Amino acid sequence: MKFGHFDDVNKEYVITSPRTPLPWINYLGCEDFFSLKSNTCGGYSFYKDAKLLRLTRYRYNNVPLDSNGLYYFIKDGDTVWNPGWMPTKTELDD
């Protein structure tokens, strides 16, 4: 199954299906702040120290999972979905 493609013009990998075999992790950080966010909205953030100064919930010594238990749910008529695809796995619009 194809999950995306490289865009040479924009120098990026474009994910076209959220059903990747493993999470696609994006890293954001500077000298003091660091955050990891996956394509399915899992992840966590911390200030200076991942163990002692977490900003979002994360079990430091646990097996890494792609969920933190915090999601936004949107009800649109009879459909319930969320912006990050997980956990509802509602098909994305084109």
Q: What is the DSSP letter of 51?
A: T
Report how far residue 33's alpha carbon sits from residue 12's, in angstroms, rounded to the nearest whole number.
Answer: 23
**pLDDT band for position 10 (cuts 50, 70, 90):** very high
Domain locations in the chain as residue ranges: 27-81
pLDDT mean over 22-49? 84
pLDDT mean over 38-66? 74
**DSSP-assigned states of every residue in 63-84:** PP-S--S----EEETTEEE-TT
pLDDT at 1: 60
**pLDDT band for position 5 (cuts 50, 70, 90):** very high
Using one digit for the tens of pLDDT, what is the confidence trace for 46-57?
A: 899 877 887 777
Q: Is 45 exposed, middle or buried (0-12, 13-18, 19+ CB in 10 A)?
A: middle
pTM beyond 0.85, yes or no: no
Q: Is 32 exposed, middle or buried (0-12, 13-18, 19+ CB in 10 A)?
A: exposed
